[in-house]
Structure 1
Amino acid sequence: MLPPPLPQPEPDAMISVAEARARILSAFAPLPAETVALPDALGRVLAEPVVARLTQPPFHAAAMDGWAVRSADIAAATAESPVALRRIGESSAGHAFGGSVGPGEAVRIFTGAPLPDGADAVVMQEDCSADDTTVRIGRAVAAGRFVRQAGFDFAQGQELLPKGRRLTARDIALAAGGNVPWLSVHRRPRIAILATGDEIALPGDPLGPSQIVSTNALGLCALVTAQGGLAHNLGVAKDTPDSVAAMAKGAVGCDLLVTTGGAAHGDYDLVRDVLADRGVALEVQTVAMRPGKALMFGRAGGVSLLGLPGNPVSTGVTAVLFLRPVLRLLQGLPPEDDRPPLRARLTTALKANDRREEYLRATLAAGPDGVLTVTPFARQDSAITSLYAQADCLIPRPPNADPEPAGAMVAVLPLTDGALSI
């Protein structure tokens, strides 16, 4: 059940980024679990732990190519005075030696092969010489040398991966090693994306004299996919209430409708009015931030709506700050990445900030002393998509922040995380 709507803010009252995020996140909970085949689980988030179905390795195994021996038989072996043992067989991966090693005997063995009964150590082949019947051991080894004990990696019934973990390529390999072919993961969030505006045309379509190419919807779809969700692009609604309302119906069955454009108070910003006419309770209307002031959030029936501003960089930044946490929460992750906060040294000075929280687009690099450095772009206009594409982080600045000199250490918010980690 969704929580009841929060009290409506005044139309022109700005709230903080933290308050807006709290209101938005309070409307969501992790999605139910579904079972997927292991090859399809990369980037998914575990709804239940992965438990080993076998012990690995299931037997004592050789860690080196060499000879399986009884350590007591070669206790006096040296390069100058090797010990001669009778060669009785071979053990290779997938083909274990069926007999037992007795006093004065040895078995040729290869990495990963089962250690024969009676043997308790492996001597590297570099320390041995052999013919068809005899092997001469030129080094003494202790019991257990170059032997991986049964269960050396993990035991049957052991938890291999915890609930709430986003699966990497390494995790997939581990689950496979535990003989786990199916995994319980949270359902992927279904996110509908609706762009609005008569001025918007799709990439490749003919452009009218007053039109621009739509970037926001495709960028948002890519962000949703990168964060592990399923994006449904509903297209571009015209600047009429009927068009906006009709195309928004395509969000039925989705977990969230994200609109871009139409969230401000201009004569052609219709999304807000269309939603109000249809009983959507707006819990967020204006946020004290730059870029991205014109942001809204509300609920109607079973579908929540996140309205992002129309300027492309504003869309991108607000998606990082508000949509990304929602996508994480829906998949059973904490809304914020639990990595330690990242800090970097400014290469240029920052002027004082005003009453709105600011998010400067910037690039990271390693300084000559190895300390991470951050360089904000000189131009921060919310319509410059070429620079936003080059950015790999944001520099968050609190309201009324003091100037920062070059060389100061500041917090940075990376833009590089996603669902497909190796």
Structure 2
Amino acid sequence: MAQHPLLPVEEARARIMAALRTTEKESLPLARVLGRFLAEEAIARRTQPPADLSAMDGYAVRAADTLTVPARLRVVGEAPAGGAYTEHLNEGEAVRIFTGAPLPQGADAVVIQEDTSREGDVVVIEETATAGDHVRVCGLDFRTGDPGMPAGRKLSPADIALAAAMNLPQLEVRKQPVIAFFSTGDELVRPGAEPGPNQIISANNDGLAALILEAGGIPLDLGIARDTVGDIREIAARAEHADMLVTLGGASVGDHDLVQEALTPLGLDIDFWKIAMRPGKPLIFGKLGDTPMLGLPGNPVSALVCAILFLRPAIIRMQGGDTALHLTQARLGADLPQNGSREDYIRAGLDHVPGEIHVATPFPIQDSSMLSVLADASCLIVRKPHAEAVQAGGIVTVLPLRR
């Protein structure tokens, strides 16, 4: 049978992203939107500051009255935070003012209290003021109608504080996509169970659930399917209302790799199968009816690396967010030989060197069965197909795994 060329990683990513639909919108209070993606541009409902405000404790003055120092000004009132001096400030006058209080009409500067001394109802100004000193002008932060945050932003605590300041008690965000998934294999048992003589502990379900949560999705763990067509079909049917179905294992060429055999009669339409990367060659993408389906390798390291490259951005894409991988550069900490015909993702440590770019040191053993190496990795060194050998000290492209 003729061999089809393996699909390049970037083309596989592009085809997956193009096939996905954005989830619907929902309106949520600010207390519930951390980490969610804005569905609509956030528009300010108020001007901030709403008036010219004092930025310091001191005295509100007319700058012209302080051109010659020391200047003696009569204190005619007080403006506490949450209050105001409502009269017009005239020549030769000053108002005791506190941080956050509005400037009186006629005042154009604040002299900080450290630059003054007080003699009864007279304040002695010891430093010349310039108009605008220690004043937060009206609208310095934003004005009513200003765009505050664009659609697609993943909301941080600072974003939520900004929304509150803009007088937005709730925001329109994208619904979190439900990602249904299951592993396949008679050899697998869940953590905590006693494996039989030919069985192993399944690591994929729990690792994938964590990645889905981290990316902003809702994991729907359908368990482990036995190596029968019937069991795979029965479990896959429970993903009917999910936004995406992910399978783990059963996507290779062995006699017991049954995912395609089981699901094709149910409407599985495969877009591509097998990509030019290591680890993770046996990757499937298509649709089961109207539901996008991603078939990850059963090997735990391969599954997680593929999930980082394909599933995480898919979850973000369904919420309208930025799907870029945010690759960066690092200096290589150990020699690397010439790469083969597949794009390679090498697990590595990433060390900070003050004043220089990070140093990425590949782990000496890259066996795809070793989850301990992936757990210790701070980045993946990305090597294009047929990349030339690189000696220690050379520059390589890396995908950071930890913030």
TM-score normalised per structure 2: 0.95
Report the CA distance between 1:199 and its aligned residue. 1.9
Report the CA distance between 1:219 and its aligned residue. 0.9
One-letter amino acid matched to 1:352: Q
Report the CA distance between 1:168 and its aligned residue. 1.5
- Aligned equivalent of 2:59: 67
Question: Structure 1: how far apart are the matches of 2:42 and 2:241?
Answer: 30
Question: Structure 1: how far apart are the matches of 2:177 and 2:347?
Answer: 28
- The reply to whether residue 95 of structure 1 matches residue 86 of structure 2 is no
- The reply to whether residue 195 of structure 1 matches residue 187 of structure 2 is no
Which of 353, 356, 371 is 2:342 aligned to? Answer: 356
Question: Structure 2: how far apart are the matches of 1:329 and 1:369?
Answer: 35
- The reply to whether residue 399 of structure 1 matches residue 391 of structure 2 is no
Does the residue aligned with 2:176 lie in a helix, a strand or coil?
coil
- Aligned equivalent of 1:175: 163
Does the residue aligned with 1:39 lie in a helix, a strand or coil?
helix
Report the CA distance between 1:131 and its aligned residue. 4.5
- Aligned equivalent of 1:56: 48
Question: Structure 1: how far apart are the matches of 2:385 and 2:87?
Answer: 77
Does the residue aligned with 2:254 lie in a helix, a strand or coil?
coil
- The reply to whether residue 128 of structure 1 matches residue 116 of structure 2 is yes
Report the CA distance between 1:10 and its aligned residue. 6.9
Contact 2:329 2:357 in 1 (8 A): no
Structure 2 gap ranges (5+): none
Question: Structure 1: how far apart are the matches of 2:121 and 2:13?
Answer: 76
Does the residue aligned with 2:144 lie in a helix, a strand or coil?
coil
Tell me: higher relative CO, structure 1 or 2? Use CA pairs within 8 A at least 6 residues apart.
Answer: 1
Report the CA distance between 1:105 and its aligned residue. 2.0
One-letter amino acid matched to 2:298: G
Counterparts in 2 of 1:11 and 1:231: CA distance versus 1, 3 Å: farther
Does the residue aligned with 2:230 lie in a helix, a strand or coil?
helix
- The reply to whether residue 235 of structure 1 matches residue 223 of structure 2 is yes
Single out whichever of 39-48 and 9-18 deviates more from structure 2.
Answer: 9-18
Does the residue aligned with 2:238 lie in a helix, a strand or coil?
helix
Alignment of 1:39-50 (within 5 A): 39-50=31-42
Report the CA distance between 1:378 and its aligned residue. 0.7
- The reply to whether residue 185 of structure 1 matches residue 173 of structure 2 is yes
Which of 122, 137, 147 is 2:135 aligned to? Answer: 147
- Aligned equivalent of 1:367: 353
Aligned residues: 403
Listed one character per residue, the Cα deviations across residues 268-305 of structure 1 (whole Å, up to 9, x for unaligned) are 22212111232311122212221111111121212121
Report the CA distance between 1:366 and its aligned residue. 2.2
- Aligned equivalent of 2:197: 209
Counterparts in 2 of 1:11 and 1:261: CA distance versus 1, 3 Å: farther
Question: Structure 2: how far apart are the matches of 1:191 and 1:11?
Answer: 32
Contact 1:11 1:285 in 2 (8 A): no
Listed one character per residue, the Cα deviations across residues 60-81 of structure 1 (whole Å, up to 9, x for unaligned) are 100111011122222211xxxx
Counterparts in 2 of 1:10 and 1:19: CA distance versus 1, 3 Å: farther
Structure 1 gap ranges (5+): 1-8, 418-422
Report the CA distance between 1:325 and its aligned residue. 2.1
Counterparts in 2 of 1:132 and 1:204: CA distance versus 1, 3 Å: farther
Which of 270, 278, 298 is 2:266 aligned to? Answer: 278
Alignment of 1:248-327 (within 5 A): 248-327=236-315
Counterparts in 2 of 1:31 and 1:168: CA distance versus 1, 3 Å: same
Contact 2:329 2:396 in 1 (8 A): yes
Report the CA distance between 1:368 and its aligned residue. 6.1
Single out whichever of 328-337 and 51-60 deviates more from structure 2.
Answer: 328-337
Listed one character per residue, the Cα deviations across residues 309-339 of structure 1 (whole Å, up to 9, x for unaligned) are 11110001111111122112111124324x5
Contact 2:52 2:135 in 1 (8 A): yes
Question: Structure 2: how far apart are the matches of 1:70 and 1:155?
Answer: 26
Listed one character per residue, the Cα deviations across residues 90-127 of structure 1 (whole Å, up to 9, x for unaligned) are 11211222333223222111111111122221111001
Single out whichever of 203-212 and 357-366 deviates more from structure 2.
Answer: 203-212
Counterparts in 2 of 1:41 and 1:208: CA distance versus 1, 3 Å: same
Does the residue aligned with 1:19 lie in a helix, a strand or coil?
helix
- Report sequence identity in percent: 47
Does the residue aligned with 1:322 lie in a helix, a strand or coil?
helix
Contact 1:11 1:286 in 2 (8 A): no
Which of 363, 367, 389 is 2:375 aligned to? Answer: 389
Counterparts in 2 of 1:40 and 1:119: CA distance versus 1, 3 Å: same
Contact 1:42 1:169 in 2 (8 A): yes
- Aligned equivalent of 1:6: none
